[in-house]
Structure 1
Amino acid sequence: MHLSRRQLIAAVAAGMALPKAALANSATEITWDDLIPPGVPYSEIIAEGEMDEANDFWLPVFDANATKLNPTLDGAYIKMPGYILPLDLSTDGVTSFVLVPYVGACIHTPPPPANQLVLVTTQTPWKSTDLWEPVWVTGVMKNSVQSTEVAEVGYSLTADKMEVYEW
């Protein structure tokens, strides 16, 4: 079999595009339990906490397990459900938010531990007017403990796809 120079260049170009195309279709679907490293039970993440009597608010006290992250997720291409807690909101939509496991996390209740929160950024604003609806977020996950204005988060994710979560 003999390939012309043009056919060879086309074959190489197609081969270079293949990994990115394959990646786009191969997101691993994860749940919130997957964010906790293997061997660390959720019950060992939160200590007893204390009550803020003046504000009638329970303040959790997290132990060292709260910032332990699942090493297999660092750099993984994943898809996970959650709720949006906006950080950057404009008339175009949300471009930066904390993905939380349940409605009202960090606003109406104390924040979950850092390894149960994901800081998400996206180039394409999420335009939904109903920020209480659950979403699927797909993108590359990074282990990255950092503080935001609402809570300490354990993961960051650059989203390349978002959609309404329907069960």
Structure 2
Amino acid sequence: MLNRRSALMLFSGALATPKTALAATPKEITWDDLLPVGVPYSEIIGEGELDEVNDTWNPIYDENATKLNESLDGSYIKMPGFIIPFDIGVKGVTEFMLVPYTGACIHMPPPPANQLVMVNAKTPWPSDDLWNPVWVIGMMRMQLQTTDLGQTGYAIVADQMEVYEW
């Protein structure tokens, strides 16, 4: 049986519990989860065109490239990826595109919109650590938007980011 002093100690300890301990656990997702249900990756990229002069392949996307997984809209998620920075400040990167593999959107044609995520980080990610994969944790929204590097299908406000370890 708890006495008055023990009950007060337990109660005050509960008040001091960090908010992160009370926050929802994020749903861990992969890049395949961004595809709409029933649409395999092989159906979002057409034949494409080979540019022999520039030695590049330019994919031709059909309407499946902008179809999104509606069940993720409003979900609190955790997903891995690589950073393509848009806004780099003294403290680091706050706005970036999360991409599924190194070099996406920079050295080759961009992946389809349903494979690109625009991220706004609440806490800047150090700009000296941009080539390593990261975990992004936050609220995901379906949001088609066009950038200089490609069209994105999703947006996340990142509450937290971590180094992705294999």
Equivalent position amino acid for 1:159 in 2: A
Using the alignment, how far apart are the partners of 1:67 and 1:155 within structure 2?
Answer: 10
Equivalent position amino acid for 1:65 in 2: N
Q: Decide whether the 8 Å contact of 2:136 with 2:162 is kept in 1.
A: yes
**Which runs of at least 4 in structure 1 moved beyond 3 Å after TM superposition?**
19-22
Give the superposition deviation at 1:131: 1.0
Equivalent position amino acid for 1:134 in 2: P
Using the alignment, how far apart are the partners of 1:112 and 1:87 within structure 2?
Answer: 17
Q: Decide whether the 8 Å contact of 2:47 with 2:60 is kept in 1.
A: yes
TM-score (norm 1): 0.85
Q: Which residue in the other structure is 2:6 paired with?
A: none
Equivalent position amino acid for 1:28 in 2: K
Equivalent position amino acid for 1:162 in 2: M
Equivalent position amino acid for 1:50 in 2: E
Q: Which residue in the other structure is 1:72 paired with?
A: 71
Equivalent position amino acid for 1:139 in 2: G
Q: Which residue in the other structure is 2:152 paired with?
A: 153
Using the alignment, how far apart are the partners of 1:162 and 1:39 within structure 2?
Answer: 30
Q: Which residue in the other structure is 1:163 paired with?
A: 162
Using the alignment, how far apart are the partners of 1:54 and 1:146 within structure 2?
Answer: 30
- State how 1:55-134 maps to structure 2 within 5 Å: 55-134=54-133
Using the alignment, how far apart are the partners of 1:117 and 1:91 within structure 2?
Answer: 26
Q: Which residue in the other structure is 1:4 paired with?
A: none
Percentage of identical aligned residues: 63
Give the superposition deviation at 1:152: 0.3
Give the superposition deviation at 1:130: 2.6
Give the superposition deviation at 1:123: 2.3
Give the superposition deviation at 1:20: 8.2
Equivalent position amino acid for 1:52 in 2: D
TM-score (norm 2): 0.85
Equivalent position amino acid for 2:122 in 1: Q
Q: Which residue in the other structure is 1:36 paired with?
A: 35
Equivalent position amino acid for 2:157 in 1: T
Using the alignment, how far apart are the partners of 1:152 and 1:54 within structure 2?
Answer: 25
Mark the runs of 5 or more structure 2 residues left unpaired by the alignment.
1-10
SS at match of 1:166: coil
Give the superposition deviation at 1:124: 1.2
Equivalent position amino acid for 1:79 in 2: K
Using the alignment, how far apart are the partners of 1:100 and 1:28 within structure 2?
Answer: 18
Q: Which residue in the other structure is 1:27 paired with?
A: 26
Mark the runs of 5 or more structure 1 residues left unpaired by the alignment.
1-10
Q: Which residue in the other structure is 1:7 paired with?
A: none
SS at match of 2:148: coil
Q: Decide whether the 8 Å contact of 2:91 with 2:127 is kept in 1.
A: no
Using the alignment, how far apart are the partners of 1:164 and 1:52 within structure 2?
Answer: 36
Q: Decide whether the 8 Å contact of 2:78 with 2:135 is kept in 1.
A: yes
Q: Decide whether the 8 Å contact of 2:99 with 2:117 is kept in 1.
A: yes
